[in-house]
Amino acid sequence: MSRFVQDLSKAMSQDGASQFQEVIRQELELSVKKELEKILTTAPSHEFEHTKKDLDGFRKLFHRFLQEKGPSVDWGKIQRPPEDSIQPYEKIKARGLPDNVSSVLNKLVVVKLNGGLGTSMGCKGPKSLIGVRNENTFLDLTVQQIEHLNKTYDTDVPLVLMNSFNTDEDTKKILQKYNHCRVKIYTFNQSRGKKQTSLSTNLLLIFWERKRTTPEYICWYPRINKESLLPVAKNVSYSGENTEAWYPPGHGDIYASFYNSGLLDTFIGEGKEYIFVSNIDNLGATVDLYILNHLMNPPNGKPCEFVMEVTNKTRADVKGGTLTQYEGKLRLVEIAQVPKAHVDEFKSVSKFKIFNTNNLWISLAAVKRLQEQNAIDMEIIVNPKTLDGGLNVIQLETAVGAAIKSFENSLGINVPRSRFLPVKTTSDLLLVMSNLYSLNAGSLTMSEKREFPTVPLVKLGSSFTKVQDYLRRFESIPDMLELDHLTVSGDVTFGKNVSLKGTVIIIANHGDRIDIPPGAVLENKIVSGNLRILDH
């Protein structure tokens, strides 16, 4: 057979396979559409339009998922961002503040992503309700921060919580405690724009009276069977057997949910111009007046529609998303998008020096424009899960920061590490509860008594994973002002007024127990074996 005939045969074979794959995709999309239409028929009449919007959004996401092949980025097109596209925070701060700070603050809305549960730390309910400092919760500290701004500058900066159906009800119950705070608090739900008006006692009482008699259906996106790629859900309810059928579609859902809630138009009508979005468990994500001033008074007169705060990578951050230049625009690249052959290169601290803190400043007018043009483009993250019954499913997610490429004149700002202080584990919790930080008006700042600006590396073992167990093992939080590194493993407890300095490693082997006595000073020590303090 001639080389030409071989090539022609191969081309015809490839073309046939391509056509076959396209037919399969079309049939699969049709099957999913029919399943979603069945689910929609189960929605109550007062929720029908909202549910239809949710399922239409999922169908568009599913269509894109079927169209994409392989990694969503071409590694060869990734370039370092131009120098002027990521500004050092010092340069932003050097511009100073306007004479009338309240004028720029009154253009701001603070949005906290409040969809997560505290299950990874052994807690039930919203993570934002876990006590982190002096019995203050994440939510308490957030409200205190914004109230301090409003009182100091005589402004009206509102707080908006983006809840999920896992956190919505418990969060709304607790909001009543802030009735007398000088902060208007609004809520809306991921994937379902259900608006909650600002807090007032009467409104909340009316809301909760209505809540007793009217069930609230809040559907997210349906999980899909990994084999059939069809939705697991059979109706819009999320109770009983249907509990695991739905999932929050990632924080990228904020744009559509915020728009659909009506809050976007409300705030634009009130003269607000920017939202500051961050995770509620990032205690470093406070309102920064210098960044806000840079947005409200751009040095070149050209408005910036999107600012992403980035900070320098350490070895602990190698998996964090990074900003790159891609096809002429700033683009957030997550590790899930990187071809396997380049994962080690992506993790390199020397090549990719910064990562995304998920502290974002976004123009409200730009969100409205792009949402109405259906022009917000975010890469799909495929997240595999296994349900309690053993069924393998996948959920299609998007990340809020991935939208940066859709906005005009986007900018990265390389901020100090202090603006990234997430609490994901009890190891993080130990740091923020310690004397390493001082608390003022809801904001944590590194203690002036610490000689080094870096945060110690703390690794607590599995005996400390749950908050309840963690608290039981510390009679009081140790003095950590001079600590560099702490590793604790096994059955270990700490007495009152313990001081930890330098590098401290405490390892209780299986079956052993170590009680660090009250008042102990451990400096550059390794403690192992068995040490019991018995009452007498």
Active site residues: 424
Classify residue 108 by burial, with Cβ atoms within 10 Å: 0-12, 13-18, 19+: buried
Tokens linked to 305: 């529609």
DSSP H helix total and E strand total for the chain: 14, 27
The Cα 382–Cα 220 span in angstroms is: 16
Token couple for 444: 């944590």
Alpha carbon distance 39, 26 (integer Å) = 20
Task: Report the C-alpha gap between 207 and 196 in whole angstroms.
Answer: 9
- Residue 190 annotated as binding? yes
Residue with tokens 């490693």: 505
Rounded to whole angstroms, what are the CA distances from 417 to 89, 308, 413, 421, 497?
Answer: 11, 14, 12, 8, 29
Q: Which residues pair with residue 395 across a beta bridge?
A: 383
Q: Is 281 annotated as a binding residue?
A: yes
Is 342 part of any known ligand binding site?
A: no
The residue whose two tokens read 């391509």 is 18
How far apart CA 289 and CA 276 sit, in angstroms, is 11
- Measured between alpha carbons, how far is residue 234 from residues 32, 44, 227, 256, 464 in Å? 12, 14, 17, 24, 39
Residue 527 Rama label (left phi>0; alpha psi -120 to 50; beta): beta
What are the CA-CA distances from residue 466 to residues 166, 282, 506 (Å)? 19, 19, 19
Amino acid at 251: H
- 131 assigned ligand-binding residue: no
Query: Which residues, other chains included, contact 336 with Cβ-Cβ below 8 Å and sequence gap of 6+?
Result: 381, 382
Rounded Cα distance, 171 and 125, in Å = 9
Task: Report whether 114 contacts 84 (CB < 8 A).
Answer: no
- Residue type (1 letter), 468: Q
The total number of residues written for the chain in this structure: 536
351 is in an annotated binding site: no
Q: Kind of pairing, strands 108-114 and 274-279?
A: parallel
Tokens of 5: 């005939």
Burial of 372 (0-12, 13-18, 19+ CB in 10 A): exposed
Q: Is residue 71 classed as helix, strand or coil in its secondary structure?
A: coil
Which residues lie below 8 Å from residue 346, measured CB to CB, with a gap of 6+? 322, 333, 335, 338, 352
Q: Is 99 annotated as a binding residue?
A: no
Contact 456, 436 (CB under 8 A): yes
Binding-site members for UTP are 127, 190, 250, 281, 424
Binding-site members are 127, 190, 250-251, 281, 424
Binding-site members for substrate are 251
